[in-house]
Amino acid sequence: MPFQFSRFVREHLSAGAFVQSSSGVTLTDLDGNRFYDLTGSYGVNVFGYDFYKECIEAGTQRVRDLGPVLGAYHPVIATNVQRLKEISGQDEVSFHMSAQRRLCKRCGLPLPHKPVSFGAFLRRLSWMVGGCATGYRQSRPSGEYLHFERHVEDSLRVLRNRRDIACVLINPLQALHPNAGAFSDSSLVDSARCTNFDKEAYTDWLKRLRAVCTERNIVLIFDEVFVGFRLALGGAQEYFGIRADIVTYGKTLGGGLPIGVVCGRKDLMKRYRDDRPADICFARGTFNSHPYVMGAMSAFLERIESPEIRKLYGTLDSVWNNRAEQFNRRLRDEGLPVQVANMSSIWSVVYTRPSRYNWMLQYYLRAEGLALSWIGTGRFIFSLNYTDADFEAVTSKFVTAARAMQQDGWWWSYPLATNTSIRRQILREMVVHRLKRKRRRTRAG
């Protein structure tokens, strides 16, 4: 919640973070309360928790005889590599515990060239690449990267004309909220949150970006740690019809266990210099290619080839777009000041009436039995095993929660209120509070 309310909320609205079991699309906490899961486990849960329990169990059986032997590989890793090369369309594969952190150490990008990121979501990854990516065992000061806005022609013009660009980092999730950070209720001080996914427009922009990168020999990197396997079997590359030079995967690919994967062109994945072949850039990590993770990954990669999963992918967009439309229609019919925007099964709640207490909705939703992630209503992540009946239950719970919040007066605002006037009022309150505290300290001194 916004910082000015955090102390009060912590005292009066405690929220537990412990759960003891999962089943279908639900989670059960230590008190036996059952919640419909909208957290997605940070993107891990694409196909439902039961799916991953089965992957982990099957993977364990495959590598049980080897156990936790590190260093040497279980043969299952060879089939995983081959399958990932087919899915990604890339030449080589590298396994890590974090694809984002290891991406920078895998690619010999030329010095003194800079990495470029589009959209605020990639600032952290850009910092890591800027800090340790460009060159073997060399580093550059943090912040020495370029941060552009997407959907802006000037950004493409700069890429086309500059001579110091090494790579462009793209997180396809940013298509849901271009040029803005991931929405969180901690910054929900008014109703200015705005989001909209236009697949056609975003695809067109990516194609133009791909053309510029090809023309200027700039490495195009897709960070699919979050969206990989959620949008399509071949990830965002398949979904938007764009081939990157490097793509990273994680989370769900491990069959429910932690993993990071970097797939890329052979020349970019090269781990040594021609003039110093013994100077190898090691992909260090105690748990890289852990047998149990590789076993669960193998089970995952086999299961997504099943007719059932392929059929699910075939109707993915139509199913979730129809559900979002149905959801919004229900909210409008109820006269509630909320709507949702979606990128397939990834949703964000937007608010249609100026208010400074929108962040309260997350607590009404939890009270109705909907489990949210740490960013609250900023992002709902549905697993793809939600049935129509499950979705109807979530819709009803959401409407009930929003109706209760409206009846309790949290969406009231004075008639002439605007988002700008709300922000100004909050600023005045902060200044007054600071002055009062300063006076108290002066008197005490």
Tokens of 303: 């299961």
Domain shared by 260 and 114, yes or no: yes
Neighbours of 435 (CB within 10 A): 10
Whether the predicted pLDDT of 108 surpasses 80: no
Q: Are 365 and 398 a contacting pair, CB within 8 Å?
A: yes
Q: What does the alpha-carbon distance between residue 58 and residue 346 come to, in Å, rounded to a whole number? A: 28
Residue 385 lies in a domain: yes
State how far the alpha carbon of 26 is from the alpha carbons of 20, 164, 372, in Å. Answer: 11, 49, 12
Residue 413 lies in a domain: no
Tokens of 235: 């990830």
Residue range 378-433, pLDDT digits in tens:
999 999 999 999 999 999 999 999 999 999 999 988 888 899 999 998 888 888 88
Identify the weakest region by mean pLDDT among 15-19, 50-54, 143-147, 337-341: 143-147
Residue 330 lies in a domain: yes
Specify the residue for token string 């997350």: 362
- Which of these three, 272, 287, 310, is where a domain ends? 310
Domain shared by 95 and 186, yes or no: yes
Residue 81 lies in a domain: yes
Residue 118 confidence (pLDDT): 66
Residues with Cβ within 8 Å of residue 104, at least 6 apart in sequence: 128, 129, 131, 132, 133
CATH number, domain of 213, equals 3.40.640.10
Domain shared by 237 and 362, yes or no: no
- The closest alpha carbon to 199, from 314, 318, 117, 311, belongs to 318
With H, G, I as helix, E, B as strand and everything else as coil, classify residue 338.
strand
Domain shared by 329 and 356, yes or no: yes
Residue 369 lies in a domain: yes
Sequence letter at residue 170: I
Q: Are 70 and 97 a contacting pair, CB within 8 Å?
A: no
Q: What's the distance, CA 436 to chain centroid?
A: 41
Q: Percent of the chain beyond pLDDT 70?
A: 87
pLDDT confidence bin for 276, thresholds 50/70/90: confident
Residue 412 lies in a domain: no
By the 10 Å C-beta count (0-12 exposed, 13-18 middle, 19+ buried), 19 is classed as middle
pLDDT confidence bin for 130, thresholds 50/70/90: very low
- Which of these three, 251, 280, 310, is where a domain ends? 310
Task: Identify the domain containing residue 339 by its residue range.
Answer: 3-50+316-407
Q: What does the alpha-carbon distance between residue 24 and residue 138 come to, in Å, rounded to a whole number? A: 47
- Which of these three, 274, 293, 310, is where a domain ends? 310
Per-residue three-class SS string for 392-405: HHHHHHHHHHHHHH
Q: What does the alpha-carbon distance between residue 227 and residue 343 come to, in Å, rounded to a whole number? A: 10
Whether the predicted pLDDT of 125 surpasses 90: no
With H, G, I as helix, E, B as strand and everything else as coil, classify residue 321.
helix
Residue 11 lies in a domain: yes
- The closest alpha carbon to 87, from 296, 274, 300, belongs to 300
Whether the predicted pLDDT of 2 surpasses 70: yes
User: For the chain, what is the domain count?
Assistant: 3
pLDDT confidence bin for 154, thresholds 50/70/90: confident
Structural element, H or E, at residue 100: helix 99-106
Q: What does the alpha-carbon distance between residue 395 and residue 406 come to, in Å, rounded to a whole number? A: 16
pLDDT confidence bin for 367, thresholds 50/70/90: very high
Domain shared by 20 and 169, yes or no: no
- The closest alpha carbon to 269, from 288, 248, 255, belongs to 248
Identify the weakest region by mean pLDDT among 95-104, 237-246, 296-305, 320-329: 95-104
Domain shared by 189 and 321, yes or no: no
pLDDT confidence bin for 128, thresholds 50/70/90: very low
Sequence letter at residue 75: P
- Phi-psi group of 141: left, alpha or beta (phi > 0 → left; psi -120 to 50 → alpha; rest → beta): beta
CATH number, domain of 44, equals 3.90.1150.10
- The closest alpha carbon to 411, from 210, 192, 191, belongs to 191
Angle (nearest 5°) at CA 198 between 244 and 260: 35
Domain shared by 59 and 128, yes or no: yes
pLDDT confidence bin for 121, thresholds 50/70/90: very low
Listed ranges 6-10, 123-127, 266-270; the one with the highest mean pLDDT: 266-270
Residues with Cβ within 8 Å of residue 2, at least 6 apart in sequence: 185, 186, 187, 188, 189, 359
Domain shared by 290 and 224, yes or no: yes
Q: What does the alpha-carbon distance between residue 239 and residue 354 come to, in Å, rounded to a whole number? A: 35
Whether the predicted pLDDT of 129 surpasses 50: no
Q: What does the alpha-carbon distance between residue 419 and residue 59 come to, in Å, rounded to a whole number? A: 52
Domain shared by 347 and 303, yes or no: no
By the 10 Å C-beta count (0-12 exposed, 13-18 middle, 19+ buried), 349 is classed as buried
Domain shared by 97 and 237, yes or no: yes
Domain shared by 161 and 105, yes or no: yes
Domain shared by 41 and 166, yes or no: no
Identify the weakest region by mean pLDDT among 119-133, 275-289, 431-445: 119-133
Whether the predicted pLDDT of 210 surpasses 50: yes
Neighbours of 12 (CB within 10 A): 7
